[in-house]
Amino acid sequence: MHNLQVDKIRRESRFVDGEDEAMPLVPQRADQEYQLEVRDLDRALTLLPVDQREVLLLVCLEELSYTEAAKVLGVPQGTVMSRLSRARARLKSILSGELVPQLKVVKP
């Protein structure tokens, strides 16, 4: 009887606020590693050209659609898609440590 009572108390102590399911243990990420990744991402974002960074942040962070981002920036939707593609590729190469050649703007 004693063991049954102890088992019952242990089972009940695993429940939170009368919920029927026990709280699962969620593994947590190492804080230092996360901070380094955020720092690297922040530095990589600053290396992007302003027009690419704007589109990337609007679409990926603010979760705007291509149409909404185009309206905000005052450019065609195709330009948003092009800039986003270039920004993602450039960000990927920066974060992977590859050198990205700078394109020069040539005016006629």
CATH number for the domain including 84? 1.10.10.10
pLDDT band at 16 (very low <50, low <70, confident <90, very high): low
If one counts the domains in the chain, the total is 1
Residue 61 lies in a domain: yes
The angle, 0 to 180 degrees and rounded to 10, between the axes of the packed helices 31-47 and 77-96 is: 130
Residue 69 lies in a domain: yes
Residue 15 lies in a domain: no
Residue 38 lies in a domain: no
Residue 12 lies in a domain: no
Average pLDDT score over residue span 97-101: 65
What is the dihedral angle through the alpha carbons of 66, 68, 69, 72, rounded to the nearest 10 degrees?
160
**Range of the structural domain that residue 84 is part of:** 50-97
CB neighbour list of residue 72: distance below 8 Å, 6 or more residues apart: 58, 64
How far apart CA 102 and CA 36 sit, in angstroms, is: 26
Per-residue pLDDT of 17-69, as tens digits, reads: 555 555 566 666 677 888 888 898 899 899 999 999 999 999 998 999 999 99
Residue 36 lies in a domain: no
Burial class for 83, CB neighbours closer than 10 Å (0-12, 13-18, 19+): buried
With residues binned 3-state (H G I as helix, E B as strand, rest as coil), the percentages for the chain, rounded to 5, are: 65, 0, 35
pLDDT band at 75 (very low <50, low <70, confident <90, very high): very high
Residue 80 lies in a domain: yes
Higher pLDDT: 16 or 9? It is 9
Residue 66 lies in a domain: yes
